Structure 1
Amino acid sequence: MSLLSLSHRERCLLSLFVLLVLAAVVGPALPASGLGAAPFADTHAWRGLPNAMDVLSNLPFAAIGIWGLRWLHWLDRANEEAQDAAPLPQAAFQPPVNSLDCAWMFFAGLILTAAGSAFYHLEPDSMRLAADRAGMAVAFAGLVGFAVCERVSSRAGWPAAWFTLVGGLLAAAICHATGNALPWVLVQFGGMALIAALALTKPMNGAIGLKLGWVIFFYMLAKMFELADHAIFEATQQFVSGHSLKHLTAALAALPVLHALQAMERQTLRHNPGAAAVTA
């Protein structure tokens, strides 16, 4: 595939990825300690579980991840039923394959995020933080890929997801090995800047309807809770910390992806009403 065959949006996406790589390579090192890595506010244990609320508040990531994977499995089976039932001259509804692949990555990443974040908050240190970020990188890659499928092109979504995944894993490893957090910052905030830009563009033909505005809203709210960790802990009489609320709110950012899968479900059932029996 040559550059001339790329659409305008695909060329813009490629340019952004090249700029992010260059910034990570030639940019000044950003010490991890400069990111405000203060101790978490809530260190209370519960039934022998250290930092209990910051650990247990990761459960929604796992719950939504399992829910999403189950839904995707149903969609795969329902689409197979629809294809088998449709006469050859009639084209059954075809869910966008790359979007579904990115959704599989996203929901699997949510489960890995729950495991990695719980592992980190049990006993925070640099190695466990790298594991936490590795899980986040998988979920974030799936989300970026899904958004690119919706707003750039279906063929660009899967490469964008893999680029983000590899970049995220490398950034987490570099931060752990060298203490330079710049690559991770570029992955996290560069990726969210991309999603914000895509939210302002018109969806492509055949897009399912991923509501990127809600993703950004929940992400920003989670960041606000994170920054107000200690203040919220004191304001609630040490009942809940901002960091625990950050986990709960960040998990809600997966709901727009679930809503998009619901749109796929409705289209599948519209083309094959008997597919509902698959879930029985």
Structure 2
Amino acid sequence: MKYRTVLVWAVAILCFVVLMIVTPAIPQSEEYHDFADKREFFGIPNTLNVISNFPFLVIGLMGLVLCYYGNYFKLSLQGEIWGWTCFFIGVAAVSFGSAYYHLEPNDARLVWDRLPMTVAFTSLIAIFIIERIDERKGTMSIIPLLLVGIISILYWRFFDDLRPYGLVQFVPCIALPLMALLLPPMYTHSTYWLWAAAFYLLAKIEEAEDKPIYKLTHHIVSGHTLKHLFAAVVPVFLMLMLAKRTTETNRISLFRSWKISRVIIKANEIKVESRGYSSVPDEES
């Protein structure tokens, strides 16, 4: 088992080194800071992009309270408690970091926007490892994963290269839904992970279509403002999952359970059809 773990880490590091060698650096484009909605209300620059971060603060604080107040989420493993604590701290901190950035968008302030998001992303990876692979390894991975995220942001800031940060953000977007589908869960209500992933995907689409959405809505709301609101729904789904879930007695992956359900449905359809045919009397010749 230890040999396999070392081998996986070695392959991952080798792939990262090769990727860094064969691909060119990706600098931060200044156009990124050119958002569609620059309106100012009540003396607040870029008002809607600033205040639309407020839901992150509310949801993050609620998550922290429910993690500890009466153990509402029923977190039985120490690693889970640490992982979800880091996640909800990251969610709450997004409200401050993103609001600070949008008051005056530039590279220096963007660091404080991306840092709490990276904390939230890397915490979720550790949580998945705890729940679906190995509790001890997942708990031990929390701090290293957080450090990897922080280092990727520092690397971008000092070397103007987004490649490491892009991997830290991109890999969870692919890995977490796949793990939710293919790995047997420790708890029920795993479909909430997929709902959370779907809303995050919608948020990224709205971010990319910032100006077209602003134009389409007749300058009422921009895509980036909607991105904040849709991204805030992600931790809401995860809170619902934590509140509803129970220990999974029959650990089967979502993909396998859906496959079994399809087989059962088809078998029932065949039975119904066969009964329908058998009930029809034969015509006399």
Range into which the TM-score falls when normalised by the shorter chain: 0.7 to 0.9
Give the Cα–Cα distance (whole angstroms) in 1 for the partners of residues 32 and 129 of structure 2.
32
* Equivalent residues, number: 245
Structure with more relative contact order (C-alpha pairs < 8 Å, separation 6 or more): 1
Structure 2 letter corresponding to 1:150: E
Give the Cα–Cα distance (whole angstroms) in 1 for the partners of residues 196 and 107 of structure 2.
28
- Map of 1:68 onto structure 2: 63
The SS at the match of 1:37 is: helix
Distance 1:23 1:162, change over 3 A: farther
1:236 aligned residue (217, 220, 225) = 217
- Map of 1:277 onto structure 2: none
Asked if 2 retains the 8 angstrom alpha-carbon contact of 1:150 and 1:208, the reply is: no
- Map of 1:105 onto structure 2: 86
Shift of 1:207: 3.2
Give the Cα–Cα distance (whole angstroms) in 2 for the partners of residues 16 and 48 of structure 1.
52
Structure 1 letter corresponding to 2:104: E
Confirm whether residue 54 of structure 1 aligns to residue 49 of structure 2: yes
Q: State TM-score, norm by structure 2.
A: 0.77
Shift of 1:60: 0.9
In structure 1, runs of 5+ residues without a counterpart are: 80-92, 268-280
Structure 1 letter corresponding to 2:107: S
Shift of 1:16: 7.0
Structure 2 letter corresponding to 1:70: V
Give the Cα–Cα distance (whole angstroms) in 1 for the partners of residues 141 and 29 of structure 2.
30
In structure 2, runs of 5+ residues without a counterpart are: 248-285
Shift of 1:203: 2.5
- Map of 1:263 onto structure 2: 244
Shift of 1:226: 0.5
Q: State TM-score, norm by structure 1.
A: 0.78
- Map of 1:41 onto structure 2: 36
CA root-mean-square deviation = 2.6
- Map of 1:31 onto structure 2: 27
Asked if 2 retains the 8 angstrom alpha-carbon contact of 1:71 and 1:261, the reply is: no
Give the Cα–Cα distance (whole angstroms) in 2 for the partners of residues 39 and 16 of structure 1.
39
Shift of 1:228: 1.0
Distance 1:208 1:148, change over 3 A: farther
Taking every aligned residue pair, what percent have the same amino acid on both sides?
A: 31
Structure 2 letter corresponding to 1:115: F
Asked if 1 retains the 8 angstrom alpha-carbon contact of 2:101 and 2:113, the reply is: yes
The SS at the match of 1:237 is: coil
Shift of 1:3: 2.5
Shift of 1:145: 1.6
Between stretches 15-24 and 184-193, larger displacement belongs to: 15-24
- Map of 2:119 onto structure 1: 138
Confirm whether residue 153 of structure 1 aligns to residue 134 of structure 2: yes
- Map of 2:255 onto structure 1: none
Confirm whether residue 200 of structure 1 aligns to residue 181 of structure 2: yes
Give the Cα–Cα distance (whole angstroms) in 2 for the partners of residues 208 and 162 of structure 1.
27
Distance 1:38 1:134, change over 3 A: closer
Give the Cα–Cα distance (whole angstroms) in 2 for the partners of residues 213 and 94 of structure 1.
21
Between stretches 146-155 and 17-26, larger displacement belongs to: 17-26
Return the index of the structure with the highest Cα Rg.
2
Distance 1:163 1:21, change over 3 A: farther
Confirm whether residue 2 of structure 1 aligns to residue 2 of structure 2: yes
Deviations 1:193-212 (A, max 9, x none): 221221221324x3354432
| Aligned 1:171-186 pairs, distance under 5 A | 171-186=152-167
Give the Cα–Cα distance (whole angstroms) in 2 for the partners of residues 217 and 107 of structure 1.
19
Give the Cα–Cα distance (whole angstroms) in 2 for the partners of residues 97 and 250 of structure 1.
27
Asked if 2 retains the 8 angstrom alpha-carbon contact of 1:148 and 1:157, the reply is: yes
Shift of 1:11: 6.7
Distance 1:246 1:94, change over 3 A: closer
Deviations 1:105-137 (A, max 9, x none): 000001111111111000011110011111111
Distance 1:70 1:95, change over 3 A: same
The SS at the match of 1:253 is: helix
Give the Cα–Cα distance (whole angstroms) in 1 for the partners of residues 160 and 112 of structure 2.
15
